[in-house]
Amino acid sequence: MVQAMGPTYAGGTQPITKDGYDVLYLPDVNNRELIAQGEAPVFYYIPNRIRMARKQGPDKGDYLFNLVRFAGTGGEGVIGGGGDVAGGMLTFSVTGALPEQTRRQAEADITARFSGSEDVFWGIKAARKPPMFRPAIIAQTTTSVSNMSPTAQGFPVADQNTRGVTRGFRTVGMPRSRALTRDPEPGATDNNLDPWYCMMQGQGSGSIDPTGTHAFSGLLGKYPAAIAWAAFHGTASPLIVIQNFKLKVWSPVCTIKIDGNWDSIFTHFSAAASGRYLWAKVDAQAEFNNMRKSGTIKVDVKVDTTLPGADEIARRMDERSELVFNKFMEMAQKVIFDPPQPQVEAAQASSGSSFFSPWGVGLSLKYRRDETHLDLHYEETRQFAYLQDHTVSSSLAGMADEIKADPEAERKYFLTVYLDDWPQRLARVVRPVASWDDKTVQFLSVQIGYPNTTGELNWQGHSFTGGDGNDPTWKFQTAKKVAGDVSNAPAEWTPDMTYVKRKVHLAEPQSETLDPYHRVQIERNVIDLDPEPNGTLLNDTTLEVRADNAGRIAVGPIGLGVMLEDKSQTVEVVMEATDENYEPLGMPPVRFRWGFDDLDLDRSWTVFSGDPEMLPFYRYQVTATVKGTLFRKGQSWTGPWTRANGNGPLIVDVPPPDAEGVVTRSLSDERVRRLRELAAPPVRELDGWSDEPAYAVADEPGETDEVDAEPAATRGTRETPTSFLSYPL
Evaluate whether 498 touches 449 at the Cβ level (below 8 Å). yes
Q: What is the pLDDT of residue 13?
A: 92
Evaluate whether 361 touches 280 at the Cβ level (below 8 Å). yes
Q: Which of 309-318, 416-425, 441-450 has the highest mean pLDDT?
A: 441-450
| Better-predicted residue by pLDDT, 91 or 471 | 91
pLDDT at 335 over 50: yes
What would the mean pLDDT of 404-431 be, rounded to a whole number? 89
Q: Is residue 268 part of a domain?
A: yes
Whether 283 and 312 share a structural domain? yes
Q: What are the Cα distances from residue 521, in Å, to 444, 506, 509, 548, 555?
A: 18, 11, 7, 14, 12
Q: What is the pLDDT of residue 511?
A: 77
pLDDT at 368 over 50: no
Q: State which H helix or E strand residue 32 sits in.
A: helix 31-36
Residue numbers of the domain that contains 708: 669-716
Q: Which of 57-61, 340-344, 547-551, 636-640 has the highest mean pLDDT?
A: 636-640
Whether 363 and 449 share a structural domain? no
Q: Is residue 611 part of a domain?
A: yes
Whether 570 and 499 share a structural domain? no
Residue where a domain terminates, one of 480, 511, 545: 545
| Distance from the first to the final alpha carbon of the chain | 144
Whether 276 and 346 share a structural domain? yes
User: What percentage of the chain exceeds 70 in pLDDT?
Assistant: 78
Q: Is residue 147 part of a domain?
A: no
Half-sphere exposure of 361 (CA within 13 A, CB side): 9
pLDDT level of residue 71 (50, 70, 90 thresholds) = very high
Q: Is residue 239 part of a domain?
A: no
Question: In whole angstroms, what is the distance from residue 160 CA to residue 352 CA?
Answer: 12
Whether 278 and 370 share a structural domain? yes
Q: State which H helix or E strand residue 141 sits in.
A: strand 138-145
Whether 530 and 647 share a structural domain? no
Tens-place pLDDT, residues 40-56: 999 999 999 888 999 98
Whether 294 and 336 share a structural domain? yes
User: What percentage of the chain exceeds 90 in pLDDT?
Assistant: 38
Q: Which of 302-306, 391-395, 451-455 has the highest mean pLDDT?
A: 451-455
Q: Mean pLDDT, the chain, as a whole number?
A: 79
Q: Is residue 448 part of a domain?
A: yes
pLDDT at 643 over 90: yes
Q: What is the pLDDT of residue 306?
A: 65
Domain count, the chain: 4
Residue where a domain terminates, one of 545, 566, 589: 545
Whether 260 and 382 share a structural domain? yes
Whether 317 and 443 share a structural domain? no
Q: What are the Cα distances from residue 287, in Å, to 7, 36, 270, 347?
A: 28, 42, 11, 15
Question: In whole angstroms, what is the distance from residue 1 CA to residue 37 CA?
Answer: 8
| Better-predicted residue by pLDDT, 78 or 111 | 111
Whether 443 and 316 share a structural domain? no
pLDDT at 346 over 80: no
Tens-place pLDDT, residues 661-716: 899 876 555 665 666 677 666 655 444 444 444 443 444 443 333 333 344 334 34
Quote the pTM value.
0.60
Tens-place pLDDT, residues 154-197: 444 444 444 444 444 444 444 444 444 344 445 545 557 888 89
3-state helix, strand, coil in the chain (%, to 5): 20, 35, 45
What would the mean pLDDT of 58-86 be, rounded to a whole number? 86
Q: Is residue 112 part of a domain?
A: no
Residue where a domain terminates, one of 545, 569, 584: 545
Q: Is residue 273 part of a domain?
A: yes
Strands 518-522 and 603-608 come out as parallel
What would the mean pLDDT of 289-310 be, rounded to a whole number? 81
What does the angle CA 450 – CA 452 – CA 454 come to, to the nearest 5 degrees? Answer: 135
Question: In whole angstroms, what is the distance from residue 219 CA to residue 241 CA?
Answer: 17
CATH code assigned at 601: 2.60.40
pLDDT at 357 over 70: no
Q: Is residue 359 part of a domain?
A: yes
pLDDT level of residue 91 (50, 70, 90 thresholds) = very high
What would the mean pLDDT of 588-607 be, rounded to a whole number? 91
Helix (H/G/I), strand (E/B), else coil: 227? helix
Whether 258 and 379 share a structural domain? yes
Whether 616 and 653 share a structural domain? yes
